[in-house]
């Protein structure tokens, strides 16, 4: 199960919500979560939890819409 | 976050705060990221209020404890460059708001755990402030990305812990260049070693858990995540039980230690803190912890808080048991306007208009 989840992080809440809108409009399941502490010690921004098989499509879409991302789909233990 | 750490953090902060009062700190004053920093500002001569001068070792303990854990766990990372001057200003405003209420959000909760109902008014203001801050976040507010600092200038990341260690040594030695209150709240404190150890333990825990009250409410409002709030829930319950055990629980608005009952200003004081903390990405406690783990922007914010404490007391803006002076009322009102202006101005411009 863990291997099938990827995390995308964003530099600000605004980019995160834009990403959520874009992904949901494209029918890609994603869940918004606080940035896992393993990934960033900064307290700004949100992260999107997304299925691994949808990652490539999601990144392409988000790049097209110029959504800024920090971590582009990492797997996190203990989630 | 594991349940174990939620319990450890909630109990350490909740019980630790009450025990520090038992050991000599003023009432409901075991931990406070704002008031303790204000006392440190007094000890350094940044303000000259004679009863509020003591370099509280709890704060130095937070910084050193958080630094040691971040260094040993490999999480220490010198970084910065995200709108430092704006962070300085927001830090100063955050301190101003806290000193008009007489406490940071953590102390608001601790005051409530001692039966001080003014904590409710203040926390309501804090929540409203976070709500307002979130509106700016949703509309694209950002102070820009911090960058990793490498090479010789990465040394800057160590300055907070060096300063904290030097100050801890100085207060332990009773150094003559520091001011020490001989009466009033500044003269009341737990023994230095106890304060320092309490700070070291809770600082490391705060680093480990990333605990932050503004962040906790923000995460709840934005994505219904409650992991940070659980810590504060347990903190509140454990501190309340401990206060009842020691007989330091006294329910009411009046006659509370280091408090006033001007409800509007208790509300607006922490409202200002809530907006500032949400724009900054962390409450006063969290700024101190981030400063320790290499975030030079957070360190600048802490400097802003020290400056804000100096200004608040020098220009007669800070509250006291007697209430909030007119200068403080005007300053909080102006401060709220300034945070709104910052929230509005620092929006990321969309590179392209979102098509959805």
Q: What is the pLDDT of residues A4-49, one digit of tens each?
A: 899 999 988 999 999 999 999 999 999 999 988 778 766 667 899 9
Question: For residue B332, is it within any domain?
Answer: yes
For the entire predicted model, the pTM comes to 0.95
Q: The domain containing residue B197 runs over which residues?
A: 3-345
Listed in sequence order, the residues at least 6 apart from B208 whose beta carbon sits closer than 8 Å to its beta carbon are: B5, B9, B69
CATH for A2-74 (3.40.1350, 3.30.9, 3.30.70, 1.20.1050): 3.30.70
Asked whether residue B18 carries a pLDDT value surpassing 80, the answer given is: yes
The pLDDT, as a whole number, for residue A79 is 54
Q: What is the pLDDT of residue A41?
A: 64
Element (DSSP H or E) covering residue B271: helix B263-280
Q: Please report, for residues B48, B61, B103, B181, the alpha-carbon distance to residue B42 in angstroms, rounded to integers and kept in the order given.
A: 6, 18, 16, 9
> What b/e string do you get for B128-142 counting C-beta neighbours within 10 Å, with b at 16 or more?
bbbbbbbebbeebbb
Interface test with B, best of A23, A24, A34, A45 (most B CBs within 10 A): A34
Average pLDDT over residues B4-32: 97
Q: What is the ipTM of this complex?
A: 0.89
Q: Which chain A residues are within 8 Å of B212, Cβ to Cβ?
A: 43
* CA atoms of B121 and B101, how far apart (whole Å): 10
- Is residue B350 pLDDT above 70, yes or no? no
For helices B105-113 and B118-138, the axis angle rounded to 10 degrees is: 150
Q: Which residues contact B28 (CB under 8 A, 6 or more apart)?
A: B21, B103, B107, B110, B111, B113, B114, B116, B256, B257, B258, B259
Q: Which helix (H) or strand (E) holds A8?
A: strand A5-9
What's the rounded mean pLDDT across residues B124-149?
A: 94
Contact B14, B235 (CB under 8 A): yes
In a domain? residue B356? no
Which residues of chain B from 279 to 308 reach within 8 Å of chain A, CB to CB?
Answer: 281-282, 286, 290, 293, 295
What burial letters (b/e) apply to B8-47, b meaning 16+ CB within 10 Å?
A: bbbbbbbbbbbbbbeeebbbbbbbbbbbbbbbbbbbbebb
Q: Where are the alpha helices (DSSP H) in A1-79?
A: 13-25, 55-64
Residue B177 burial by Cβ neighbours in a 10 Å radius (0-12, 13-18, 19+): exposed
Residue B5: pLDDT band by 50, 70, 90 thresholds? very high
Please report whether residue B71 resides in a domain.
yes
Tell whether the model's pLDDT for residue B311 goes beyond 70.
yes
Q: What is the structure's pLDDT at B351?
A: 41
Mean pLDDT for chain B? 95
Using the predicted structure, report yes or no on whether residue B110 has a pLDDT greater than 90: yes
pLDDT of residue B255: 94
Residue B355: pLDDT band by 50, 70, 90 thresholds? very low
A45-61 pLDDT, tens digit each: 789 999 999 999 999 99
| pLDDT for the residue B354 | 45
Query: pLDDT tens, B39-70?
Result: 999 999 999 999 999 999 999 999 999 999 99
Beta-carbon contacts below 8 Å between A and B: 70
**pLDDT above 70 as % of chain B:** 97
Q: How far is CA B287 from CA A5, B293, B306, in A?
A: 31, 10, 12
Of B145, B223, B295, the CB nearest to A34: B223
pLDDT at B263: 97
Name the residue ranges covered by the structural domains of chain A.
Answer: 2-74
CB-nearest partner of A14 from B142, B290, B295:
B142
For the cut 80, the answer to whether the pLDDT of residue B208 exceeds it is: yes
Q: Which residues of A touch B281 (CB under 8 A)?
A: 42-44
Q: B33 in helix, strand or coil? A: coil
Structural domain total, chain B: 1
Tell me what pLDDT residue B146 has.
86
Q: Could you tell me how far CA A59 lies from the centroid of its own chain?
A: 9
∠ CA B190-B62-B88, rounded to 5°: 115
Sign of CA dihedral B172, B173, B179, B184: positive
- Please indicate whether, in this complex, the C-beta atoms of B138 and A14 are within 8 angstroms of each other: yes
- Which pLDDT band, with edges at 50, 70 and 90, does A2 fall under? low
Strand order in the sheet with A5-9: A30-34, A46-51, A5-9, A72-74
Q: Print burial letters for B242-275: b (CB count within 10 Å at least 16), e (below 16).
A: bbeeeebbeeebeebbbbbbbbebbbbbbbbbbb
Residue B356, pLDDT score: 41
| Per-residue model confidence (pLDDT) at position B282 | 93
Among B81, B286, B354, the residue to mutate for chain A (most A Cβ within 10 A): B354
The pLDDT score that the predictor gives to residue B349 is 63
CA distances from A7 to B154, B171, B209 (A): 29, 45, 20
Is B98 a residue whose pLDDT tops 90?
yes
What pLDDT is recorded for position B251? 97
């Amino acid at each position: 199960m863990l291997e099938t989840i990827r995390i995308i992080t964003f530099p600000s809440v605004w980019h995160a919500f834009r990403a959520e809108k874009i992904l949901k409009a494209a029918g890609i399941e994603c869940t918004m979560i606080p940035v896992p502490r393993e990934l960033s010690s900064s307290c700004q921004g949100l992260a999107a939890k997304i299925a691994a098989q949808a990652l490539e499509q999601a990144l392409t879409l988000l790049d097209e819409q110029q959504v800024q991302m920090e971590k582009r789909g990492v797997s996190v233990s203990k989630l | 976050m594991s349940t174990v750490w939620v319990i450890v953090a909630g109990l350490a902060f909740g019980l630790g705060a009450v025990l520090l009062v038992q050991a000599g700190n003023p009432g409901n004053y075991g931990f406070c990221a704002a008031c303790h920093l204000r006392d440190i500002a007094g000890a350094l001569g940044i303000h000259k209020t004679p009863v509020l001068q003591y370099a509280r070792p709890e704060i130095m303990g937070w910084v050193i404890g958080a630094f040691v854990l971040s260094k040993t766990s490999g999480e220490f990372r010198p970084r910065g460059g995200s709108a430092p001057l704006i962070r300085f200003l927001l830090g100063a405003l955050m301190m101003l708001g806290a000193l008009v209420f007489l406490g940071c959000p953590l102390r608001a909760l601790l005051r409530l755990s001692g039966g001080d109902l003014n904590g409710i008014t203040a926390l309501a203001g804090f929540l409203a402030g976070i709500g307002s801050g979130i509106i700016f976040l949703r509309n694209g507010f950002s102070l820009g990305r911090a960058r990793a600092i490498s090479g010789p200038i990465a040394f800057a990341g160590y300055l907070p812990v060096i300063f904290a260690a030097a100050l801890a040594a100085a207060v332990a030695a009773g150094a003559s260049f520091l001011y020490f209150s001989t009466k009033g709240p500044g003269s009341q404190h737990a023994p230095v070693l106890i304060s320092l150890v309490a700070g070291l333990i809770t600082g490391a825990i705060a680093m480990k858990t990333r605990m932050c009250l503004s962040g906790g409410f923000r995460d709840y409002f934005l994505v219904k995540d409650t992991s940070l709030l659980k810590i504060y829930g347990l903190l509140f319950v454990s501190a309340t039980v401990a206060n009842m055990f020691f007989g330091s629980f006294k329910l009411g608005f009046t006659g509370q230690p280091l408090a006033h009952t001007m409800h509007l200003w208790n509300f607006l004081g922490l409202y200002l803190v809530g907006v500032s903390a949400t724009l900054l990405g962390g409450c006063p406690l969290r700024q101190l912890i981030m400063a320790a783990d290499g975030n030079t922007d957070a360190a600048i914010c802490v400097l802003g808080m020290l400056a804000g404490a100096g200004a608040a007391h020098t220009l007669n803006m800070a509250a006291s048991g007697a209430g909030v002076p007119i200068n403080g009322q005007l300053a909080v009102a102006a401060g709220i306007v300034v945070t709104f202006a910052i929230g509005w101005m620092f929006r990321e411009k969309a590179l392209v208009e979102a098509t959805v």
